[in-house]
Amino acid sequence: MAPRVPDGLVEFIESGVSILLGTRDDDLVPEAMRACGAVVDQTRTRLTVYAHTRVAERTLANLRANRQMAVTFSRAIDHHTVQLKGECVEMREADARDDAIVDTYKSRFVEQLYIVGMPRSITSRFCVRPAWALTLAIADIFVQTPGPGAGARM
């Protein structure tokens, strides 16, 4: 059975924390990019993550080739970090509903960075659209917060 994202973790994932999207090519060469939003579906077994079109070319090519992806969420203020792994089951261009999610993420991410000293005048310039919506069927959830529990399955 697929793991379900726990209650408190849904709020964390959608709160504007830093999101890194990792993929690999067929030669196992990794690719990482900053994602620009995420939303957990109602079943809590899937996650849609958003990738800015202008910088997603290699990521999209990797997903077309092997569909494997990992998404890491980390809060800058305390480094609370989790990683979700699985298979990309859908790739599509973001629509108006997705654009609203991406815009909300950007606002929240700008505030997360402001808390740790990055000026809004710089972080508000981040480009997040147009985007691709990439849906992950969650196979594993890991704690990645630095410390003795890092790497443990949730």
Domains of the chain by start residue, with CATH: 7-143 (2.30.110.10)
Residue ranges, the chain, pLDDT below 50:
none
Kindly write down the DSSP assignment for every residue of 116-142, as one continuous string.
TT--HHHHTT----SEEEEEEEEEEEE
Q: Cα separation of 122 and 105, whole Å?
A: 16
Which whole-number Å values give the CA distances from 46 to 18, 42, 119, 127, 149, in the listed order?
19, 8, 33, 25, 24
Helix (H, G, I), strand (E, B) or coil at 28: coil
| pLDDT recorded at residue 2 | 82
Tally of CB atoms within 10 A around 109: 23
